[in-house]
Chains A and B, each alone.
Chain A
């Protein structure tokens, strides 16, 4: 891997290499700097004391859709904001930003969670999957195709969250009943009222998968 970053502020804070999931540009660069200036011992002493990150921007690594990405964010940055604003993964939609609508649903280690109620800094070395990561070899996944076939979107704002939830359902329950689908999707709100077509699309996708 090739890192090209500005020199980290290790002399002052000594923070960068502390966390397992922060192994990134920081570590290589910090190691070099510290070895060069002979402060390795000092760093070892402060290691135990100060694991605090922030409140200003910190460098983190995050695994998204199979790629390791690096970003500099404040601890208060939600995963949704980090994905959308820092990594340009704008398929993630933020509806209510309070965990009520599930439009921002992504997977962390394969489990659907709300990216607006998750802090980017807490993802650690877990794997994030967004709607952009579902297509394989330029082919949409069956749920995405079924949503198009059944015209299951109107404004489309809730769609990526719906598809993340539905794909997870079909991976764990390949032949769901209509009720299974409704229960699984019960957190995903569509203000346009596309729910009937969404259920049809998911049941159809299940038949084709």
Chain B
């Protein structure tokens, strides 16, 4: 979940708040949590991954203002575009989309600059998929002579990157700069790279990697900015530009749209303002909230959530989401905002009145019965993780059936899925040489086994082992369980690499093959570092159902 850190003074002034009293509670309406607060900064964690507008100081502050004062207008009196960007061909496969705007009349201060940088980082990294679908650039407007061209160029093109010592080629930037190394993967499939230049030919930036040193450096004191967003997904690019434009407007800038001219003759004026219109019937609202919607002031409620053009007509509500949001994809999303505005703690909880019968899963009921017998037999229950290692299952224990491997393990220690429980009991034995003997252990748990050539299935197994015990000990334990469950137990000799030859067997329950039982081979014990004789058995729990 994104976390942002905002200078406290900047935050309070943006949010039009005198102090931070009640801030934690107010943030709940934005699905945000207060993560830290001191005299200088406020830290906020945002839980809604579909609301990149909230990952900025301006967005959170706007939400709090609207909650108090009602909806605001956003970018509703944009002038005609004064400047344009020419998009050249050959970008289609690489990075086809661009949106841009100018922001003038607000003098960038230190807090504002910090906020621009935070927005750039948070939005481009998470919402923009590490700059793939959207990357952001800010420039001092007066350094640029329009029109700007968005084109592709050879990796040998050179310019001085922001923070660099001198001119470098694009290829060098990817190899030698921090940003280059981080984002080179986005361009590795291509022979040519995107480039933004102004009409004098000066490089503005090498998107999505880095701005130019001469034209791409915004400092406190600038009051005329140019902002562009490039990326591989149009809606991500345009929404990002819209969010940034709304944020700068909130700080007092006048936003000027920019015309984008595509090589096929299409022309778009950006940012393109979204006005997602959502409609829900009063009946479905009433059904969902469990109260008659007619009794609610829905207009006031939606206004708190910054909706505009709220119309309550014949049995339904229609409202327009603010342009910085695009997460309203179903009437339910409108309804949730009504619920948030009402306040969850203002709704009276009631219990479902329809009668239902509770029950545990059959295998769990069986497990409970069998476990009660094992405890009576003096066995101690063990619980171990399902993920384990190939070493434990195959190399040390010599289990004949190979376990299913994890393709992307975090460590080899958890690189396979258990297909047997006996290795877990041997692991306990090898860690418990200092615990008073004898050890009678059991574990009941799910394992993952292959079904045929490609499929797999989950099965609940039971394994029992005895430390400082022999074949007879485990045989007796299994024997008494079968006896008390009314099952007929017999053993059929079968050699198995895990056990001493002649001291292992297939378990037959009521004549059906169920599992294996044996006395572990000293070689297996040695591999585990176990210094006492150990015997054990394992079978599917269901085989004890009878």
Are A and B part of the same complex? no
Spell out A's residues near B (CB within 8 Å).
none
Identify the B interface with A (CB < 8 A). Answer: none
